Structures are given as C-alpha cells and as structure tokens.
C-alpha cells in the first residue's frame, strides 16, 4: 500500500525535474553568492543545550496533510520575529507548496526578519535541491531516511555539507537510525509522526534516544504541545525539539514560545 510519503516523493521528483530544467545551475550559484553565509544550525542547538536550556527549532507551518489549514493569518516574518524573541534557537520553514501550502519566499522572508539559522523543511530527492536551498538562503536541509536509498542520502548530504549547510537526518525507527548513522551528519531527528497513519507517538523518541551515539545532537520532532512535554523528555537527556502546529495555533506566538523554552 502506498503511503502519503510515497505520494509526496513521487510529486517531488516531477517538480524538481521541471525546476532543474527551468533554472540553470549558474543562476543558482550566482543567487547563492548573494546570500549571507550559512548560520550554524546545529551549533545554535548545541549552544542552547550546553547552557542548560532547550534547543527549540520553531516551525513556520501554514498547513499540513494531516490537519489542513493551520494558520489563516500566516505571516512568516512576524512568526520569525516572535520565535526569536520567545527564545527559539532555530527556525524551520516548510517550502513544499502542494501538501503544506509552503513556499521558498516564506523562507527568504523569515530568514531576513531574524538572526536565527533556518532549515528548509522540504522533501529532498536530488542533490540539486541542496544548491537550490542555499540559493534561497537555507542554513540547513532535511534528509528523510524513509524516503531515500543510502546512496541518494549520501549524495544529497555531500552537496549540502559542501555548501556549508547542516543536515538534519530524520528517522522513525531503529533500522532507519542505523542507516542515518552511516552518514556524516551528527544531527539526528526522530519524527514521532507515523507517515502512514499520521498518528503521533512520542514513545518513538524515548525508544531511540538511548541508541544514538552521545556525540549526536538528538532532536525530538512532532506532536509536542507543552513545557511539560519538553520537561518529560529532558528527564531522558533530550534537549532539542522541533515544534510546529502547537505554536502556530497560538494568538501570542512570542509568549507561547517563551512559555515553552524561556
Ligand atoms: O505534519 C504533517 O501532517 C506531515 C505529514 C506528512 C509528512 C510530514 C509531516 N510533517 C512534517 C513535520 O515533520 C512536522 O511539521 C514537524 O515535525 C512539526 O510537527 P508538529 O509540531 O506536530 O506540527
């Protein structure tokens, strides 16, 4: 049975092939040169965790396949400023249009509005997207292990690291974690969301944290709603978190961010 991830990846292959044809590499290289150098994404998380805080990746997420529209008054620069003022370490910006109503312009605008490092949250299927991501200013990209073969992951990672970006490698289970650890990046995320059923189970994070080497920056992703959720994880030495929907639904995003990690 095909999953939502299979559907998204199939769509993405088509989209990327079309964009590759339309945008010459030389244009992307030229655009990348106009961007400020990568802001250290992993370093920002590690710095918060090292001083006893929580490394929050606060996500700018307009809509999702599981929830539909999340935020009608969607304003990426305002969200970016509120997340920074509230104490986030990094931003995540969804750029996929078809399934998340995202856009590259949202990342450009959010990054310009703050000093935080930004991950382009999208579905990487081709190393070309690493250059495209740097050309829009991304400081990091995501590799979803469930979506790629080992060789594809290594190629995409090489391209991103070669451009000075960080790579968040996302896993769902022990088998994927083993594959993730063959890569060079030591920034590992466990996504608590089952991409077949959309169910969120934070137990995934608890199951895997002990299996990640100590030199990894370990990030719990999805389904986190409160300070109590984060404190419970911190008791298991998990100090970095990716939070989207629960923050995006708040009236006062800055206060909600501060309540989460301040
Ligand atoms: O959010 C979804 O519905 C979704 C569906 C299919 C693939 C990925 C999906 N989400 C991407 C994410 O990883 C989350 O946006 C991120 O971890 C934040 O999760 P949350 O705090 O639960 O919004």
Kind and range of the H or E run holding 129: helix 128-135
Q: How far is the CA of 164 from the centre of ligand 1 (A)?
A: 26
Q: In whole angstroms, what is the distance from residue 80 CA to residue 97 CA?
A: 19
pTM of the model: 0.97
Choose the residue to mutate in 3, 60, 64, 247 for probing ligand 1, maximizing ligand atoms within 8 Å of C-beta: 64
Per-residue pLDDT of the chain (262 residues; tens, 9 = 90+): 688 999 999 999 999 999 999 999 999 999 999 999 999 999 999 999 999 999 999 999 999 999 999 999 999 999 999 999 999 999 999 999 999 999 999 999 999 999 999 999 999 999 999 999 999 999 999 999 999 999 999 999 999 999 999 999 999 999 999 999 999 999 999 999 998 788 999 999 999 999 999 999 999 999 999 999 999 999 999 999 999 999 999 999 999 999 999 8
Q: Tokens in use for 243?
A: 């939070």
Nearest-angstrom CA–CA distance, 203 and 130: 31
What is the number of the ligand 1 atom nearest to the C-alpha of 65? 3
- Cα–Cα distance between 122 and 169 in angstroms, integer? 12
Pocket lining: 87 vs ligand 1, CB cutoff 6 Å: no
Q: Whose CA is nearest to atom 19 of ligand 1?
A: 222
**Ligand 1 atom closest to the CA of 245, numbered from 1:** 23
Q: Is 221 in the pocket of ligand 1 (CB under 6 A)?
A: yes
Residue found by looking up tokens 């998204």 in the block:
8
Closest listed residue to residue 94, CA positions, set 120, 114, 68? 120
Position 18 scores a pLDDT of: 97
Calpha distance 122→96 (Å, rounded): 6
- Sketch out the chain's domains with CATH numbers: 4-261 (3.20.20.70)
């Amino acid at each position: 049975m095909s999953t939502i991830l299979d559907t998204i990846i199939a769509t993405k292959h088509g989209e990327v092939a079309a964009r590759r044809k339309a945008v010459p590499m030389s244009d992307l290289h030229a655009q990348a040169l106009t961007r400020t150098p990568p802001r250290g994404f992993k370093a920002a998380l590690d710095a918060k965790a090292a001083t006893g805080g929580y490394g929050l990746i606060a996500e700018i997420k307009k809509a999702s396949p599981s929830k539909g529209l999340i935020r009608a008054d969607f304003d990426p620069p305002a969200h970016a400023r509120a997340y920074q003022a509230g104490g986030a370490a990094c931003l995540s910006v969804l750029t996929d249009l078809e399934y998340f109503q995202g856009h590259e312009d949202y990342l450009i605008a959010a990054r310009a509005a703050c000093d935080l490092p930004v991950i382009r949250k999208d579905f990487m299927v081709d190393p070309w997207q690493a250059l495209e991501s740097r050309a829009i200013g991304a400081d990091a990209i995501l590799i979803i292990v469930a979506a790629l073969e080992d060789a594809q992951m290594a190629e995409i990672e090489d391209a991103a690291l070669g451009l000075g970006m960080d790579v968040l490698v996302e896993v769902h289970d022990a088998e994927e974690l083993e594959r993730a650890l063959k890569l060079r990046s030591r920034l590992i995320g466990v996504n608590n969301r089952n991409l077949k059923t959309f169910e969120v189970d934070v137990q995934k994070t608890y199951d895997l944290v002990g299996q990640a080497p100590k030199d990894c920056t370990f990030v719990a992703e999805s389904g986190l709603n409160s300070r109590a959720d984060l404190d419970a994880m911190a008791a298991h030495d998990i100090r970095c978190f990716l939070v989207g929907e629960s923050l995006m639904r708040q009236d006062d995003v800055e206060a909600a961010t501060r309540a989460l990690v301040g």
